[in-house]
A and B are shown apart, each in its own frame.
Chain A
């Protein structure tokens, strides 16, 4: 029983981190038709930036903000300078993001060396609290809470604001959105920055749980891809449900069959592709 409760909570914490990673990935893909293959690298770079800010003596929440801000700026520059040049050439855009992923990965190795480095848990959140009869780290509960708050905020942004209405219009029908005078290029930059910021923030928040190491980017990217395949492109509820599902599955997979955890991830993806190739939550044909 203890095992199941603890692993379920761990699954929720990983799911929360995955949501921060894949909600941006899914929004960018849904709106811009760009599979941003540097998204895993953004997550890792966010964690490294957070680590440096912490090492410089600042607090944990400053590090989270700095990680998010740095990656948002980086994402904005990449979108403006490179992706916009290639507008309309989908595959060139995807391959450029892949090249950028390699550049970030190797530069990080150069700057922060190859040793895995855990980020320290903020002092206010050290220790454990009793949950359902087990003691569970406070920090992981906080991560679950933050990801749910972020999900609600994103939902409100998309469903309740003018910007959100424009994004939804772009996801549903780009041509029509353009024709109605929605400033699509500015929308692209905004969504790309937002997605990048979420990934950077997820990286710093994940630091105390996953630590940060070379290869973290390539460990996270397939998880984001699988969440997207499960949840459908551009769907926030899809990304939410997909993230927690994969979070659970991966956590239990690693606990029960450590050598085969990766293959277990493969099964829901196959099932989704066979049954609902457009994603379990996609409203209609894209």
Chain B
């Protein structure tokens, strides 16, 4: 009962934007959900795997590029293009995972960063395929089963359905035996190895799962913006996702969603007044990391537990 209440509240919260009279709020809510899927996928690595990646924009970006490129340049229809984009991006995450997991800790962070920057540079310079700085445009949202996704509300509901699937499946993953193993590998890799877990393989599976959901977020990103440019692969994008995870609370299910809400809202509120988003992103980053390292959701949890000392788990 106590558990059902917040879930019901969340569902109401999720439905509310669809009732809003203004397209603006519907679109902001759509962006929050896409960012939340992206942040949750990164949380698999950062929060549950203890592997801090600074190149997660790669999966969102490559998938978004592929989604648009396959439709506008290769002439595929929407559904096979989206499937192919997710499949190719997931395969790429397997390859990158094998490379990046040659190291853990700082080495892992630096390899993911270098791989991300290389793809960003490639998107800028490989003009004949990526359109360079101009990016790829001329893409339109699909009309599956006669539903016109060009309408903001319809697209919001579609995004919400994907978000709900992503949330439930990722929650199931981290609560499964595999999820327990992943968290064990994060905390005690040597003991887990002694217990017979294949530490490297557990990390690789988590990496590929993160790549897969990042790719799903990338397809939604492509549909939402109907345009993609090298900006999507920039380090700021990877850092924003990491900020969402850390600000909300790494290694919690709701943390990245709260983080996505806060960061996307902040971005919209701020860009209404000033144009210096990157400066603010840097300041927030320094402030959160230096002064509130555990994030909003665990901090709130602790506060609640202090108020009800007997009731907590």
Contacts and interface: CB of A to CB of B under 8 A. Distances in A.
B128 interface: yes
B110 A98 contact: no
A35 B52 CA distance: 13
A174 B242 CA distance: 30
Contacts of B283: 99, 103
A37 B54 CA distance: 11
B127 interface: yes
A91 B49 CA distance: 14
B142 interface: no
Tell me the interface secondary structure of chain B in the complex: helix
A90 B105 contact: yes
Given A96-B289, A222-B121, A103 B282 contact: yes
Interface residues of B, number: 41
Contacts of A35: 106, 109-110
B290 A82 contact: yes
B292 to A, nearest CB: 11
Nearest to B279: A106
B113 interface: yes
B128 A99 contact: no
A277 interface: yes
B106 A103 contact: no
A94 B106 contact: yes
B125 interface: yes
Given A33-B106, A99-B283, A99-B289, A260 B125 contact: yes
24 contacts: A29-B106, A33-B106, A86-B289, A92-B290, A94-B106, A94-B109, A95-B242, A99-B283, A99-B286, A100-B286, A106-B276, A106-B282, A110-B276, A218-B235, A222-B114, A225-B110, A229-B114, A258-B125, A263-B122, A266-B118, A269-B114, A270-B99, A273-B103, A277-B102
Interface of B: 52, 54, 99, 102-103, 105-107, 109-111, 113-115, 117-118, 120-122, 125-128, 234-236, 239, 242, 246, 276, 278-279, 281-286, 289-290, 293
